[in-house]
Each structure stands twice: as structure tokens, then as C-alpha cells.
Structure 1
Amino acid sequence: MTRVLLVPGRNDPLPEHWQEWLAGRDPARCWVRHATRGRYVADERVAALAAALDGVTEPTVLVAHSAGCLTVALWAASAGPGPVRGALLVTPPDIVEPWTDGTSALPALPDDPLPFPSILAASRTDPAMTYDRAAHWARRWGAELVDLGDAGHLTTADGYGPWPLAEHLIARLAPPVGRGPVDLGSWWPLQGPGSSKISGARSFRSAHDEAPPRAEGGFRSTLGQAVCSSRTC
């Protein structure tokens, strides 16, 4: 059985956040515990992730949002894959000074492929990182690139909320025992023969010029009641 470990961004997510929704769907899903809420101190976040994985033997998928994506990349560069079999990296940001404590600089992000399969889900309207910049990191990290269209930074303010696509992406990284890899083409509303490669990072965007619709088409749910989980590990 594959373990899911949730890696938060700069702040702990609100109860309505899609990561909380994921946690509430399975009590075995755990959070990385950290002590730097409201600011991003890379060394402390990487140490917290390492502590959460210490002694773990089960195959693990990391599900990271925002600055949590940077935590995963920095940890992987120094520690190797360990028990991690894959990582879902959702809307990584370009870190700016107000996100840190003002004294600790962010280490240079790794420029090599991650040592495990990964999916980078990027938004066309993310104020924290442009889509082209996200595509750059997908190429560098060897990640599959999923185009979320007009999704903002995928926060509760943007309407996320329950986000069923996350479950499909997790299953793609860790398919259930006895099943092959999940084919997003049969589920992704705008997938079609026009899908193309983006310099080694797969894009699931349609060949149509317009971006995927913001709140329709089946890949994004509206903000709804989420089940809050306080479980950490």
C-alpha cells in the first residue's frame, strides 16, 4: 500500500483547502509537521520533511503545494529518493523576501531531475509563478507538466476546495496494486490528439488556443465543505 504524505506551503492550509480535503478522505494520510508557520525557512522545512520520512519503509507519494514543492525539491537533492516513489508538485512559487524570515536566503533550487517520478501542476494565472517559469522547472526536474488553465495559486480564495483531479494525479504516480498506470487521457476533459510535448515535460492541455475553463469541464470543483484533518506525522 502506498502512503501519502502532505507537504504544506508557507502557511498551514485552511480547513477548506484541497490538501485538507485529501487528508479527510483517508485517515492514513499524514502531514509534515513544521514550526515556521507564516514564513518559509528552507532548512527547517527540509529537516521537517526528512523527519517525517525517517524510518518509513512503505512506498510514499509526496503531495506538495506552493512552497512545499520547493521543500520537496531541496530535500530530494540532498537525501535521494528514500521511500518516495513519486511527488505531486502543485503551483510552486518564485520565493520572494516577505515569504522568508528576512535573514535566511533560499538555497539555489536543484537543476537536475528529481530521483523519482513527479508531476508538476501549473496554473496560467498563478500570481506566484508564471506558467512558462513552471514549465522551466518541470523540464529541469523531469516532471510531467499538467496545465490547470485559469486556477490562480490553487488556494481556497481561488475556489479549491475539493479538487478531484488530485486523486487522479496521485493514482497516476502510485496506481493501485494490480492496475497499470492511470490514463489521464480518458478522464481529462480537454485531452485529445493535439496534446504535445513541452521540451520533455508532458502537457495535458488541448491543442485549442483557449485555456481550459475556470470552473467547468469536470477538472475543477467549486469551493465546498471540506473534511478537516488535524493528523500530522
Structure 2
Amino acid sequence: MRTSEADILIVPGLGGSGADHWQSRWDAKLPTARLILQDSFDRPVLSEWRERLIEEILRAERPVVLVGHSLGSLAIAHAAPHLRDSGVKGAFLVAPPAPDVVATLSSIDPAFAASPMEPLPFPSLIIASRDDPYSSYAESERLAGSLGAELVDAGNSGHINADSGHGPWPEGLMRFAGFLKNL
């Protein structure tokens, strides 16, 4: 699959994706991509994020590929049971936080902290860092196993966001192109 053959729905995490974040850059660069905007990126509520994601998938005109970062990745995983036969062809999940870390953040709906345990109904890939402050690599391995996702080791890359030096993130875009090619 090529980018022109899919609606690429980009799902930001807590705080959204600022102008320097790789998700915002991909949104600007890929003509069939669009950011999923939430009513609140600062006080996320899982049911609202899940419903918005489902609404955007239903609006899609082509097969859908989801691109999540951090809490956005967990939103995708929690929405997955509602996405069977929805046109979603795959999910590219970057730096999902560990549920126990999410549980410590008072601004986040506690429902996000429940571990998704059901395999995703579409191909998926998790990119995880060895020194992500929001998840240990072992926790990323566990989540990948639960979701039936391929796990990619990003080495010591922090949270894979603009703060960790991943503004343009060309390596991620190349990995995403490879992921699309295999769908």
C-alpha cells in the first residue's frame, strides 16, 4: 500500500502534537494524512477519544492506517474492539506509555491505564525506546505481545517526540513506508 491509497489518521497523545513534533510534520507532508483533534488534549477522557477516533474512521474515503503516539497509541488499542470491519488496515504505534505510568498522571482518565489485552484486529507495529521515561522496554514488549504487534527497538531514543530530538524523524517515516508496503 502507498500513502496515496490510504487515509492516514494521526492520533496525538497527551498535550497534542506541537508544530515541531513528527506527527504534525507528517500531517503537513503526507497529502492523505490528517490529525485527529480532540476536545481536550490536556485532560483526556478515553470514551471521548475513542468515539472521536471511530467518527474519523467512518469519515474516511480510503482504507485507514492509524498512526498513534504515546497516549494516542493506547487510545487506538482501546478502540480496536470497536474497529472490526471498519476499514482499518493497520496501526503504527510509537512510544505507548506503560499503564502503571498512566495511572500516576492525575490529568488522564484512569480508564486509559487499563491494559489492552486483546490482539488488534489488523496488522500493527510498536516502536519503543530503551530509555523512554513513560515505559520500560520490557513493558513495551509485554504490550506488543498482548496486542499481537511487531515490536521495533528504537534504541535509546527517549519518548520519540520533539523534546527527544525527533522533530522531522526521517527514520520513522522510512519505517512507516516499509510498514505500509507490507499491508
TM-score by length of 2: 0.88
Q: What RMSD over aligned residues (CA atoms) do the two structures have, in Å?
A: 1.7
Give the drift of 1:166.
2.2
1:25 aligned onto 2:32: no
- In the alignment, what sits opposite 2:129? 123
Give the drift of 1:26.
2.0
Distance, in Å, in 1 between the alignment partners of 2:25 and 2:60 is 24
- In the alignment, what sits opposite 1:152? 158
Distance, in Å, in 2 between the alignment partners of 1:84 and 1:99 is 31
Which consecutive unaligned segments of at least 5 residues does structure 2 have? Answer: none
Given that residues 6 and 32 in structure 2 are in contact (C-alpha distance below 8 angstroms), is that contact kept between their aligned partners in structure 1? no
Given that residues 85 and 173 in structure 1 are in contact (C-alpha distance below 8 angstroms), is that contact kept between their aligned partners in structure 2? no
Percent identity between matched residues is 34
Q: How many residues align?
A: 175
1:41 aligned onto 2:48: no
TM-score by length of 1: 0.70
Moved >4 Å (runs of 4+):
none
Match of 1:9 among 8, 13, 25: 13
Given that residues 33 and 52 in structure 1 are in contact (C-alpha distance below 8 angstroms), is that contact kept between their aligned partners in structure 2? no
Of Structure 1 and Structure 2, the greater helix share is in 2
Which consecutive unaligned segments of at least 5 residues does structure 1 have? Answer: 176-180, 183-233
- Structure 1 segment 77-226 matched on structure 2, within 5 A: 77-94=81-98, 95-98=102-105, 100-101=107-108, 104-106=109-111, 108-175=114-181, 181=182
Distance, in Å, in 2 between the alignment partners of 1:80 and 1:60 is 12
1:72 aligned onto 2:72: no
Which amino acid counterpart does residue 24 of structure 1 have in structure 2?
Answer: A
Given that residues 24 and 35 in structure 2 are in contact (C-alpha distance below 8 angstroms), is that contact kept between their aligned partners in structure 1? no
Distance, in Å, in 2 between the alignment partners of 1:13 and 1:100 is 17
- Once the two structures are superposed, residues 151-209 of structure 1 have per-residue CA deviations (whole angstroms, 9 ceiling, x without a partner) of 1111211111111122223223322xxxxx39xxxxxxxxxxxxxxxxxxxxxxxxxxx
